[in-house]
Amino acid sequence: MIIPVNLGSRSYRIIVESGALDTVGARLAELRVGSRTALVSDAAILRLYGKAVGRSLESAGFTVTTVEVPAGEAAKTLAVAERCWDALLAAGLDRTSTVLALGGGAVGDVAGFVAATYMRGVNIVQLPTTVLAMVDASSGGKTAINHPTAKNLIGAFHQPRLVLCDPTTTRTLSQREFSSGLAEIVKHGIVLDAAYFAEVERDAAALCARDLPVVERIIGGSCRLKAGIVERDERESELRHVLNYGHTIGHALEAVTGYARFAHGEAVALGIVAEARLARRLGIGSDETVARQERLLASVGLPVRAPAIDADEVLAAITRDKKARDGRVPFVLAPRIGAFQLAYDVSPDLIRAALRELGP
């Protein structure tokens, strides 16, 4: 599946295709970029896919400098970015060169940030290998490193030149990592497309069994939905907030549990449950709308209850959300499956009550 992202001079394509990683050299050559590339990835991913990607690039005439970064969030620091800049300089990358991010969302974020800032911006190609990175982090141009006080605080919008999703890479994910990515897929269905949501409901068992054609079709559908939003609000002035459904509470749950208790998608799933219940408390949506969201999350292996959550702590973390404008935190709410509305100034008492519903 080929999904165009139409952003004028920053347009690009998202390609979702089994075996796509083997085609990266030929695809990059089509973009007529310079011959030098840097492949940024972590050790485990390099062991799995580094050779194939390197071979594909070299056989298309590119030189490849491999830059190994730590796995996960540990990659998203200024020190790691600096090491990457040093490696790019040492390899002679110039403004026509390309950085390729091979791996999950964290590698994509730091490599994207390095590409956005090196020589005021060089090409970045995203090669996501997790469900989460394929359907969310790799497209849309958000790049970031973490600040000691908060995640993703330092960054830039820098659109990729190409996103290549190879669904065969999802076979090597742990069950937890695979399910975590499905939270973003369910999110897209809830707020953007009732037919897509129903498709995920129908195919949940095959999706969880990692039936490749189903995984490819569902990932492609999700990428298409996200691309449609990015095209209309690239810089998140308002509409793009919709992609944060479940994240206002989800991010706060991650923060208060020290980023250790929940995988990102698990926190988003719990955030969706609480935000669905918040909508209900605000008189938006029906009990059945809430129940369908919870049922689908549970059926793809995601948590829908979290014992021992301190609602006041979560509430305090929500007010520190970086999406706040003048102290007002936007909530995305789903009045029905396939629709959304934004709400500001939601009463803390209602948020607290919705959070308590996460309890057993």
Q: Which residues are catalytic?
A: 120, 142, 184, 226, 236, 240, 244, 247, 251, 264
Q: Least Å distance between CB 14 and ligand GLY?
A: 13
Q: How many chain residues touch ligand GLY (CB under 6 A)? A: 5
* Whole-number Cα distances in Å, 251 to 32, 33, 322: 39, 37, 10
CB-nearer residue toward ligand GLY: 25 or 160 = 160
Q: What dihedral angle (degrees, nearest 10) is formed by the CA atoms of 199, 205, 206, 210?
A: 120
243 part of the interface to ligand GLY, by CB under 6 A: yes
Those residues with Cβ within 8 angstroms of residue 354's Cβ, 6 or more apart along the chain or in another chain: 249, 274, 275, 277, 278, 281
| CB neighbourhood size of 171 (10 A) | 10
CB under 6 A: which stretch of 68-76, 111-119, 136-144, 252-260 binds ligand GLY? 136-144
Considering the rule CB under 6 A, would residue 142 count as an interface residue with ligand GLY? yes
- Note whether 187 binds ligand GLY by CB under 6 A: no
Q: Which of residues 54 and 140 has its CB atom nearest to ligand GLY in the complex?
A: 140
Provide the pairing of β-strand 12-16 with 162-165: parallel
Token pair 């707020």 in the structure block, residue: 191
Strands 341-343 and 331-333, by their bridges, are antiparallel
Of 45 and 243, which CB lies nearer to ligand GLY in the complex structure?
243
Question: Is residue 36 part of the contact set for ligand GLY (CB under 6 A)?
Answer: no
Q: How many CA atoms lie within 13 A of 93 on its CB side?
A: 31
- Is residue 15 involved in binding ligand GLY (CB under 6 A)? no
Figure out which of the listed residues 55, 240, 281, 295 binds ligand GLY, where binding follows CB under 6 A. 240
- By CB under 6 A, tell whether 136 contacts ligand GLY: yes
**Residues in the site for ligand GLY, rule: CB under 6 A?**
136, 140, 142, 240, 243
